[in-house]
């Protein structure tokens, strides 16, 4: 059933239904109107209508479109008038009166509470459900979301690799080394298949190696003995006149024999690769290359050599089979072990969210979960469902697959192009079969009528998408009449074809790529320069055009061609910034800063375009010692700056002194380059907090340029400003977008399976089951090629449907053009891929040209082709104009500041960016001391925020009641993970033991007697914070009857600023119970001096006052007081509160009782006064 406006508002809202939405037919519009119907007809609140899509960007767009649609509907009903077809239906159904009033009320509630709208990504939905029913689903209540689990997967693979190389057969080990198999290559091979439980594994049986090797060794010894005994005879036979000299030239024979002699020289058989043309010395090859009427040379060596080659081939097959068998075992191990590892570490990946929910919906609590979700979300709309996979469909089938459900699956199988992300179009086809009702959207609202007609005709062939389940239904066009784009072509056809010129032979892909990019760029210059080309009454500009490319490499080629002609462009890439030229250049620059005295490193750095030196200047530097020494001195200075102040100060000074921005912006693509440079510097600075030390950070950077970590949104290339620039976009990234004019300069490019994909691939088996083949047989490769070709056809459909007014396609007699998706539509006669490849193989330039002429004749003026032989090098001259601007006027009143606050913000007046994490001594500075003595033990332990965090981690992870020996693994792991040297281990163990034994109360109670059940780590608290002034708080604390220690009262005058209203948030290091009293414990790493005397109570009191820690522990005590009031029956402050103990760890490590321990028990009057103060009650 075709859905248009009237039928959309009429069909029943019941059951699982499927809506197929061809490109440009208003999929989002349909979803918005279905939500509107559910609100008004079913009376569902907005938070009970589940809308799921597949990306965060799509979620944001959908949220905004839904909000606008509901606002429009409210306006229709309020004013009683609408020109929208849906609005007219609503007004007819809801005449003025009670019904319309109820509808307006529902829309008002929906808009006011729209922030609660249940619009999620698929992973966000799964995370929400698992969080709500964690107990029933059998998942931990709190688990961190891991956006990229490649690191954990690499650890598993590396562990398995170590076991493999230890236990594997030596022959296979050598084969692995020869083929450069490493944990990284295994990760690349298996990564995209991990987390897909629907894949069954097909791998060959392990090949027999030992017997094959014994046979090979025998053949080797036989050949070696024959060669050593009869080398002269064998050499003479190869010079026989009976052999064809174009095959057995004398110099070639000498070369082969020399290489064979070297290969047979070792006494024992080996695995060294054979030399090229080794088969020429086999008896069959000699017989096949014999002149007519002559007898081929015959010798036992030639026969033995042939047997050797055959046996070696058999052994290589056995080795490959053994490797594939090992690979299958590794895959199964990772599939099982990776979720277990993540569960152990308390993290979940995106795949885990899906798999966990699917498993829960098939487990003992399935019915409860289904009812719980259906109760919360009685209706569901699943957008972009063509990008689903078997696990996702299992989830929604369990939740909404019955007849009583209210659910829609919305998608388009013709646009299923994300198989590399795990999307499975066959699952969509199964869902379409299961759906009770099926609909399709039949009107294209994007493109001109003529362009819609051209695309309809192009796909009007049997099996247009190769797979029998995907059909093409022609659509109507909403845009009728003349196009808004005028001029710019000899023929106004919306589908413009350009045929690449060829001179008697098929073009190579490199030639075709270069010519297509150059011609498309010159065509864009012509369009931009022609005053007759008008779009909606104005001149065309670069932002009206897009170039769709299959790969980033082709995008870079296109960008280069445009920049050569002065056309501004932006490559809207989604690839990793570490794969750019700027990353390599920065790597060279860092190497020179790291080793400034190494001449080769410094030379490579000075060649960097960032520094603006040309060849002559570089030569002059090398030839002038004093100039070269100046460069060495400069880079030594950068080295020292990096070592002493950190990466970013060094990078900033280098950029400023070397005028990097000015040099880069002079280049054609300077803005792009500068954007990448700044992005790389930012990422490197962020990583410097993890990879401590110059060498460690440099090694990390080198690893990223060779093998970037997957899944890092932070490392995706950022866009430079793109106003009025030609957009260069991959076809995958263009899905869902539209442009007035589209160029597809590489439509002739056809690729099926690459060589590295042929052994490890996934496709459907003969029974239609998704299968991962490790060592794919020929039949599996053929099926995989057909599936790949079918997806290329869907990619072509996406590319052809992005244009609103005109689309340029480039075609030609190019190598492997028959493998391009467009050839399937152009040729249009084959019924299978093998048949198509065979038929198109015979086509030459004239054949392809004849096909284009035939298509042009049948398309009623909607298509025009011409030869792309007019490449111009003309540059585009932009018309400069000065826009009229005026100063914007700010017309609204800003509300007073409201934010989350903390102890740090209260005492230092910092912004909210610094206040939502545990303190961990992040802002402490050493207090001045009267004298310095050589530091040792904990007094010598590093100072600063990072060591403070490290020491906190120690106390958080150890069991206080465990023996010292049990702490060693924790200490060692943390030392290694944080980059500290191993010699600190005994020092830290002594410190832990001494600190835990420090007496904290009059009875000698200590932390060593606190069990895990008696401690609460990093207690987080939040409570309302009224607008207050710090002087008011200072005045309160200064009241003598409240008992604040005198050193603290003396510094209260420093609290003199206005604090923001909002909430107060904090983290208490430790709450513990000792001898039935509750204590606030805080660990401090502050360095107060190198002697035990520096940590006596009097010195600690000054430190507490200096850092305003008294306010911190008063807040912590208040938080604990409020906590115990709610949690502890019969709670009394005087009876149950033990007070605060601030443990200065460098002092407690001495083991002297009381050393490093600051103790206080705030009075109940103090806590009550603070309680009233923060509640906004004035005393």
Instruction: Please state the residue numbers annotated as binding site for ATP.
Output: 21-28
The residue among 350, 343, 335 whose CA lies nearest residue 127 is 350
Q: Which of 352, 669, 1082, 1094 is catalytic?
A: 1082
Residues 353, 128: contact at Cβ < 8 Å?
no
Name all contacts of 278-285 with Cβ < 8 Å and 24+ positions apart: 278/309, 279/309, 280/247, 280/248, 280/252, 280/256, 281/238, 281/256, 281/257, 281/305, 282/306, 282/309
Beta-bridge partner residues of 576: 716
DSSP 13-62: S-EEEEEEE-TTS-HHHHHHHHHHHHHHHS---GGGEEEEESSHHHHHHH
Strands 485-486, 538-539: pairing kind? unpaired
Q: In angstroms, rounded to a whole number, what is the distance separating the alpha carbons of residues 347 and 353?
A: 10
CA distances from 518 to 37, 96, 272, 522, 565 (A): 52, 63, 46, 6, 10
Residues 5, 86: contact at Cβ < 8 Å?
yes
What is the H or E stretch that residue 516 is in? helix 509-529
Q: Count the neighbouring beta carbons within 10 Å of the beta carbon of residue 708.
A: 17
Q: In angstroms, rounded to a whole number, what is the distance separating the alpha carbons of residues 587 and 702?
A: 7
Q: What is the largest CA-CA distance in the chain?
A: 124
CA distances from 50 to 34, 120, 131, 396, 1106 (A): 12, 8, 16, 12, 54
Residues making up the binding site for Mg(2+): 952, 1069, 1082
What is the H or E stretch that residue 407 is in? strand 406-411
Beta-bridge partner residues of 771: 200, 763
DSSP state of 897: P
Tokens of 682: 């930012």
CA distances from 1049 to 204, 345, 1044, 1166 (A): 80, 46, 6, 13
SS3 content of the chain, % helix, strand, coil (to 5): 55, 15, 35
1101-1136 burial, b if ≥16 CB within 10 A, otherwise e?
bebbbbbbbbbbbbbbbbbbbebbeeeeeeeebeeb
CA distances from 146 to 154, 342, 351, 354, 977 (A): 15, 9, 10, 13, 19
Q: In angstroms, rounded to a whole number, what is the distance separating the alpha carbons of residues 281 and 298?
A: 11
Clarify whether 1082 is annotated catalytic.
Answer: yes
Residues 610, 663: contact at Cβ < 8 Å?
yes
Give the contacts of 1034 (CB within 8 A, at least 6 positions apart).
1052, 1053, 1055, 1056
Backbone angles phi, psi at 34, to 5 degrees: -65, -40
Tokens of 323: 């490797």
Residues making up the binding site: 21-28, 952, 1069, 1082
DSSP 774-787: ES--HHHHHHHHHH
1156: left (phi over 0), alpha (psi -120 to 50) or beta: left
Tokens of 1054: 């420093």
The angle that helices 599-606 and 625-645 make with each other, rounded to 10 degrees, is 90
1163 exposure class (CB count in 10 Å sphere: 0-12, 13-18, 19+)? middle
Q: Which residues are tagged catalytic? A: 1082
């Amino acid at each position: 059933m075709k859905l248009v406006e009237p039928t959309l508002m009429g069909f029943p809202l019941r059951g699982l239904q499927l809506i197929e939405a061809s490109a440009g037919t208003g999929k989002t519009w349909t979803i918005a109107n279905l939500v509107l119907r559910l609100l008004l007809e079913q009376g569902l609140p907005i938070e009970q209508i589940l809308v799921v899509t597949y990306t965060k960007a799509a979620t944001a767009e959908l949220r905004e479109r839904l909000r606008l649609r509901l606002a429009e509907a409210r306006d229709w009903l309020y004013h009683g008038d609408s020109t929208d077809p849906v609005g007219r239906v609503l007004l007819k159904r809801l005449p003025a009166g009670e019904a319309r009033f109820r509808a307006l009320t529902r829309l008002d509630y929906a808009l006011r509470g729209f922030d609660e709208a249940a619009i999620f990504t698929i992973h966000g939905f799964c995370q929400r459900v698992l969080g709500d029913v964690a107990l029933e689903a059998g998942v931990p209540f709190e688990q961190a979301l891991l956006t990229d689990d490649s690191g954990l997967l690499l650890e598993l693979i590396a562990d398995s690799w170590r076991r493999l190389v230890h236990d594997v057969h030596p022959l296979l080990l050598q084969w692995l080394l020869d083929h450069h198999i490493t944990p990284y290559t295994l990760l690349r091979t298996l990564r995209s298949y991990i987390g897909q439980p629907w894949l069954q594994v097909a791998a060959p049986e392990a090949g027999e190696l030992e017997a094959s090797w014994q046979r090979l060794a025998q053949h080797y010894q036989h050949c070696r003995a024959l060669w050593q005994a009869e080398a002269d005879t064998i050499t003479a036979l190869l010079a026989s006149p009976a052999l064809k000299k174009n095959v057995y030239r004398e110099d070639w024979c000498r070369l082969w024999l020399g290489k064979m002699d070297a290969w047979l020289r070792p006494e024992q058989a080996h695995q060294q690769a054979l030399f090229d043309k080794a088969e020429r010395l086999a008896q069959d090859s000699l017989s096949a290359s014999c002149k007519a009427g002559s007898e081929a040379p015959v010798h036992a060596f030639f026969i033995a050599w042939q047997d050797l080659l055959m046996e070696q081939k058999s052994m290589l097959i056995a080795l490959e089979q053994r490797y594939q068998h090992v690979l299958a075992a590794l895959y199964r191990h990772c599939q099982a072990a990776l979720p277990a590892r993540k569960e152990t570490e308390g993290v979940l990946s995106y795949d885990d969210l899906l798999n966990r929910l699917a498993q829960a919906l098939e487990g003992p609590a399935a019915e409860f979960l289904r009812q719980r979700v259906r109760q919360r979300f009685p209706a569901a709309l699943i957008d972009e469902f063509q990008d689903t996979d078997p696990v996702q469909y299992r989830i929604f089938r369990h939740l909404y697959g019955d007849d009583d459900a209210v659910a829609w699956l919305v998608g388009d199988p013709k646009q299923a192009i994300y198989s590399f992300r795990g999307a499975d179009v066959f699952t969509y086809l199964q869902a379409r079969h299961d759906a009770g009702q099926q609909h399709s959207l039949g009107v294209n609202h994007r493109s001109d009528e003529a362009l819609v007609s051209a695309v309809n005709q192009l796909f009007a062939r049997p099996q247009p998408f190769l797979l029998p389940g995907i059909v093409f239904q022609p659509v109507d066009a909403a845009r009728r009449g003349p196009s808004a784009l005028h001029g710019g072509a000899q023929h106004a056809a919306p589908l413009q074809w350009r045929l690449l010129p060829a001179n008697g032979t098929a073009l190579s892909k490199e030639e075709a790529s270069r010519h297509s990019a150059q011609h498309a760029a010159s065509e864009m210059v012509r369009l931009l320069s022609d005053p007759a080309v008008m779009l909606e009454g104005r001149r065309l500009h670069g932002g009206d055009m897009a170039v769709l490319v299959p790969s980033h490499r082709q995008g870079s080629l296109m960008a280069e061609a445009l920049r050569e002609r002065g056309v501004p462009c932006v490559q809207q890439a989604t690839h990793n910034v570490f794969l750019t030229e700027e990353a390599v250049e920065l790597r060279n620059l860092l190497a020179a800063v790291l080793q400034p005295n190494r001449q080769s490193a410094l030379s490579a750095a000075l060649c960097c375009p960032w520094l603006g030196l040309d060849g002559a200047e570089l030569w002059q530097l090398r030839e002038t010692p004093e100039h070269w020494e100046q460069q060495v001195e400069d880079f030594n200075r950068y080295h020292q700056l990096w070592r002493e102040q950190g990466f970013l100060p060094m990078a900033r000074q280098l950029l400023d002194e070397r005028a990097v921005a000015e040099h880069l912006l002079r280049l054609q693509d300077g803005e792009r380059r500068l954007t990448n440079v700044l992005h790389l510097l930012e990422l490197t600075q962020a990583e410097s907090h993890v990879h401590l030390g110059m060498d460690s950070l440099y090694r990390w950077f080198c690893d990223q340029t060779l093998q970037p970590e997957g899944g890092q949104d932070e490392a995706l290339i950022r866009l430079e400003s793109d106003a009025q620039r030609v957009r260069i976009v991959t076809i995958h990234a263009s899905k869902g977008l539209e442009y007035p004019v589209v160029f597809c300069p590489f439509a002739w490019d056809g690729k099926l399976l690459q060589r590295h994909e042929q052994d490890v691939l996934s496709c459907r088996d003969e029974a239609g089951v998704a299968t991962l083949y490790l060592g794919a047989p020929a039949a599996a490769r053929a099926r995989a090629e057909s599936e790949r070709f079918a997806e290329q056809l869907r990619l072509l459909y996406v590319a052809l449907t992005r244009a609103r007014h005109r689309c340029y396609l480039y075609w030609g007699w190019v190598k492997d053009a028959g493998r391009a998706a467009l050839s399937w539509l152009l040729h249009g006669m084959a019924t299978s891929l093998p048949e198509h490849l065979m038929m198109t193989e015979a086509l030459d330039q004239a054949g392809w040209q004849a096909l284009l002429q035939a298509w042009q004749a049948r398309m009623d003026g909607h298509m025009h082709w011409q030869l792309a032989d007019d490449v111009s090098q003309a540059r585009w001259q932009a018309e400069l104009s000065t826009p009229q601007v005026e100063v914007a006027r700010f017309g609204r009143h800003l509300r007073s500041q409201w934010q989350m606050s903390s102890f740090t913000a209260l005492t230092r007046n910092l912004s909210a960016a610094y206040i939502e994490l545990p303190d961990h001594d992040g802002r402490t500075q050493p207090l001045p001391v009267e004298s310095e003595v050589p530091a040792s033990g904990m007094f010598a332990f590093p100072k600063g925020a990072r060591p403070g965090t490290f020491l906190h981690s120690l106390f958080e992870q150890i069991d206080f009641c465990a023996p010292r020996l049990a702490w060693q693994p924790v200490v060692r792991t943390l030392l290694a993970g944080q980059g500290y040297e191993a010699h600190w281990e005994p020092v830290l163990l002594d410190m832990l033991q001494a600190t835990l034994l420090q007496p904290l109360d009059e009875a000698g109670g200590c932390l060593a007697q606190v069990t895990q059940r008696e401690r609460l780590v990093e207690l987080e608290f939040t409570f309302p914070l009224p607008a207050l002034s710090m002087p008011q708080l200072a005045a309160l604390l200064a009241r003598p009857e409240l008992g604040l220690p005198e050193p603290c009262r003396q510094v209260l005058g420093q609290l003199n600023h206005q604090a923001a209203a909002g909430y107060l948030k904090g983290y208490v290091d430790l709450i513990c119970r000792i001898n039935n009293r509750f204590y606030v414990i805080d660990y401090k790493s502050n360095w107060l001096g190198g002697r035990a005397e520096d940590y006596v109570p009097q010195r600690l009191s000054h430190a507490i006052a200096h850092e305003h820690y008294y306010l911190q522990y008063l807040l912590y005590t208040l938080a604990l007081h409020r906590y115990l009031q709610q949690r502890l029956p019969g709670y009394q402050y005087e009876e149950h509160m033990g007070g605060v103990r601030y443990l200065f760890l460098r002092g407690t490590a001495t083991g002297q009782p009381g050393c490093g321990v600051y103790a206080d028990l705030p009075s109940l009057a103090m806590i009550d006064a603070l309680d009233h103060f923060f509640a906004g009650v004035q005393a």
